[in-house]
């Protein structure tokens, strides 16, 4: 898969995105006035479900790279969990990430630190191309998802599940649960994901001589369910396992092994630590 370069430039301030970012951050700050261990525990479980299952196992390793196969209902559930992060729908997320791999740290990369650290972390969302609502344009880079009506609907209305979750939290636990289970969870998940775009292309160790600046960063891996082993990933993009050494903690890989044990996950692609690859094959 080799998507064409599309110009992720600075067309101007994305007002709707910026307002949403500010509003959710303010809500996350407000949550600190209602802190309790119960709320923190619930938020941690929801974070694992939405970012761990939804982004790491779902949007990234399954939907983008097709590193393994699960029954279609579970695949759809992972995508639903991913939409709860408000990182866009599955088609736009997958399209953006595939473009990133095709042009990593080169012209056309939507979030390279070569364009500035702040740009790679969040600036590309504030001033960059607004692709999360453009299902038709993104479908060119994710045709496998665009052929399925469920993914098209979820991409067009990716905000609906998050609103529904907010209403459920309000009914069950009132505003404190909304602030923690929705606002804190989403904001923390945003920055964790954005750190993969920024920090893991700036700081860490390089095991493989890839054509980009990707690095293995342990502290990013700790908060992203193993996504911080980014140099490993760019060297072996289709590997479902990112932490290739025993000491590289990869919770998503552990979850996938459990699914494999019960016969739920199959056709799992796994790179070995001693696998040799040519630099031209790295992404």
Taking a C-beta distance cutoff of 8 angstroms, is the pair 265, 259 a contact?
yes
- 206/213 Cα distance (integer angstroms): 8
- What is the pLDDT, as a whole number, of residue 282? 46
pLDDT, residue 96, reads: 96
pLDDT score at 274: 73
Show me where the domains of the chain are located: 15-281
The tens digit of pLDDT for each residue in 190-224 reads 999 999 999 999 999 999 999 999 999 999 999 99
For residue 10, the model assigns a pLDDT of: 57
Q: What is the mean pLDDT of residues 158-180?
A: 98
Residues in the chain: 283
- The answer to whether 219 touches 209, Cβ cutoff 8 Å, is no
- Span 240-266, mean pLDDT? 98
| Contacts for 3 with CB less than 8 Å, ≥ 6 apart | 95, 98, 99, 102, 140, 141
**pLDDT of 12:** 81
135 with 143: CB under 8 angstroms? no
What are the pLDDT digits (tens) for 3-21? Answer: 444 444 556 889 999 999 9
Radius of gyration of the chain (CA): 18
- pLDDT band at 130; cut points 50, 70, 90: low
Q: Which residues pair with residue 65 across a beta bridge?
A: none
Q: Residue 134's pLDDT band (boundaries 50, 70, 90)? A: confident
Confidence at residue 272, expressed as pLDDT on a 0 to 100 scale = 81
First-last CA distance in the chain: 11
What is the average per-residue pLDDT within 62-89? 98
Task: Please state, for a pLDDT cut of 70, what percent of the chain lies above it.
Answer: 92
Say if residue 84's pLDDT is above 70. yes
Q: Percent of the chain beyond pLDDT 90?
A: 87
pLDDT > 70? residue 127: yes
| pLDDT at position 273 | 77
Q: For residue 129, name the pLDDT band (cuts at 50, 70, 90).
A: confident
Question: Quick one: pLDDT at residue 276?
Answer: 52
What is the reported pLDDT for 168? 98
Torsion, CA 113, CA 114, CA 116, CA 122, rounded to 10: -40
Instruction: From residue 143, give the alpha-carbon distance in Å to each of 50, 154, 268, 283.
Output: 24, 15, 22, 20
Least confident of 85-99, 103-117, 126-140, 251-265: 126-140
Q: Cβ(131)–Cβ(139) under 8 Å?
A: no
Burial 229-259 (b: 16+ CB within 10 A, else e): bbbbbbbbbebbbbbbeeebbbbbbebbeeb
Minimal CA–CA distance to 58: which of 194, 240, 186? 240
Structure tokens at 233: 């990933």
Pair 87, 111: CB distance under 8 Å: no
């Amino acid at each position: 898969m080799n998507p064409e370069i599309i110009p992720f430039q600075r067309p101007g301030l994305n007002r709707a995105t910026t307002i949403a970012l500010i509003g959710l951050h303010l809500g996350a700050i407000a949550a600190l006035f209602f802190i309790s261990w119960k709320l923190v525990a619930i938020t941690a479980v929801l974070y694992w479900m939405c970012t761990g299952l939804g982004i790491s196992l779902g949007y990234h390793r399954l939907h983008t790279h097709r590193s393994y196969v699960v029954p279609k209902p579970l695949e759809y559930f992972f995508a639903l969990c991913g939409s709860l992060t408000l990182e866009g729908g599955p088609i736009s997320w997958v399209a953006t990430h595939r473009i990133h791999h095709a042009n990593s740290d080169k012209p056309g990369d939507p979030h390279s630190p070569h364009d500035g650290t702040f740009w790679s972390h969040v600036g590309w969302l504030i001033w960059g191309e607004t692709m999360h609502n453009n299902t038709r344009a993104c479908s060119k880079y994710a045709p496998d998802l665009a052929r399925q009506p469920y993914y098209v609907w979820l991409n067009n209305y990716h905000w609906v599940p998050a609103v529904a979750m907010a209403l459920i939290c309000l009914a069950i636990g009132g505003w404190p649960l909304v602030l923690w289970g929705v606002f804190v969870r989403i904001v923390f998940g945003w920055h964790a994901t954005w750190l993969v775009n920024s920090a893991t292309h700036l700081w860490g160790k390089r095991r493989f001589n890839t054509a980009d600046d990707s690095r293995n960063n342990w502290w990013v891996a700790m908060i992203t369910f193993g996504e911080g082993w980014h140099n490993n990933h760019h060297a072996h993009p289709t590997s479902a396992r990112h932490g290739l050494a025993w000491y590289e903690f990869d919770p998503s890989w552990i979850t996938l092994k459990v699914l494999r044990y019960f016969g739920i996950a199959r056709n799992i692609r796994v790179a070995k630590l001693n696998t040799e690859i040519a630099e031209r094959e790295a992404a």
